[in-house]
Amino acid sequence: MRLVIWLAFLATVPTNAYANTTVISGAQVWNGKHFEVRTLAVRDGRFVRVPRNKATVEKLDLSGRYIVPAYANAHCHVTSADRASSDGFLRAGVFYVWNPNSIVLSKQDKAFFGTATTYSLKIAQGGITEPRGHPEPLYTDILAKYVYKGRQKEWFIGNAFHYGRTPEEIVKVLDKLKSQGADFVKAYLLHSEDYEMRKDDPKFEGARGLNPANMPFLVAEARRRGMKVAVHVETAADLVTAAQSGAAVAAHLPGYGGSGTEAMELSAKQARIVAKSGIRLTPTYGLAAGLVDEKASLAEQKATADANAKRQLENMALLKNSRAAFIMGTDGLGPVFDEAERWVAIGGMTDPEAARVVFETGAWLFPERRIGCFQPGCEADFLVLSSDPTLDIRNLRAIEQRYKAGKVLNLPDLSKDDALP
């Protein structure tokens, strides 16, 4: 009886019903835990059920290749609305980005992102700090001279950064961020364990942030407005404060900028608190690799690099063993595979663990979309790799093809002078 019904249904299906369908066979497809050989079908920019009658479909054999979700960067400050910038991200496999502190983008700029040929972007607009806290001096004393020429220092307040000294100020700032089109909120904690000592001392300008006592209120108010909060952290106390406040993301982990002091050292108890909170961790550990004192001897530089790696490994191991959740971000222009390779190089993660974080980040950053999956209805954004990154994390670089909305992205050739974001 079922066979009769099925045959009757087939008789009603137009012969060209699958004309715009591409069936991909032979590839090893990421299933969330490991690779397995699967057959996929794509139509109208999404994955669909594989048709039984493949007579009219386009067939693509990707035997020996590896299909993975497009990469994402949860922490990147340079996201220009121009073709060259977008092509750089896409070339590196990055389709989804969060910018956690951006000058207000125009409607025209925002319309540039998230098309069939450009990467998707969410922005926080200016972050929330206190007077002369980070990043105020960075903008007004440095970037105003070299990047934002012609801007008066007063312009940066309310655009590049906001003051949140009191609950009343925080409410006004959050309302302004919402009106500016912020997708999420960036808040700054720097050495919060020494907040009272640093807050009025000119010596610590640029090296302090919000009053940690205000963080729970800030997060709760941001949530009421439908916005997650990413918190810049420096020390173990900053990370714990961010976690206990209910923040969604820790932007950096203690030790990202070098080994520093004991304040950068997490305890097992602190790691458990962080993990239990569910906060997502963006280590940006690769930044430490670029911190070199050119005046130091080679032996001293190596000793510093070894100390940095040791501190990062210890913190990452505690957090990972406590089942904390990680996402991928770089802070700067470096490609995400540099950061993933750093995690593996210091011994903080295995190749499969680091690869899994890379594959899962996009879906967490854009939960309102069906991305990073290969079931019917999921967006057909994916990468084709020539080698397995779970065996060697460096194979994240082995991108042969990039598919966006089910179509191959044809990008300009990479010149020797171009840098991958």
List of domains in the chain: 2-68+374-408 (2.30.40.10), 70-365 (3.20.20.140)
C-beta separation of 36 from 52 below 8 A: no
pLDDT at 260: 72
pLDDT at 17: 57
Helix, strand or coil, per DSSP, at residue 296: coil
pLDDT at 339: 97
Residues of the chain with pLDDT under 50: 3-15, 415-421
CA-to-CA distance for 58 and 24, rounded, in angstroms? Answer: 9
185 φ, ψ (degrees, to nearest 5): -120, 140
Per the rule left: phi > 0, alpha: psi between -120 and 50, beta: everything else, 181 is left
pLDDT at 57: 85
pLDDT at 414: 52
CA-to-CA distance for 249 and 256, rounded, in angstroms? Answer: 15
Strand residues in 166-239 grouped as ranges (E): 185-188, 229-232
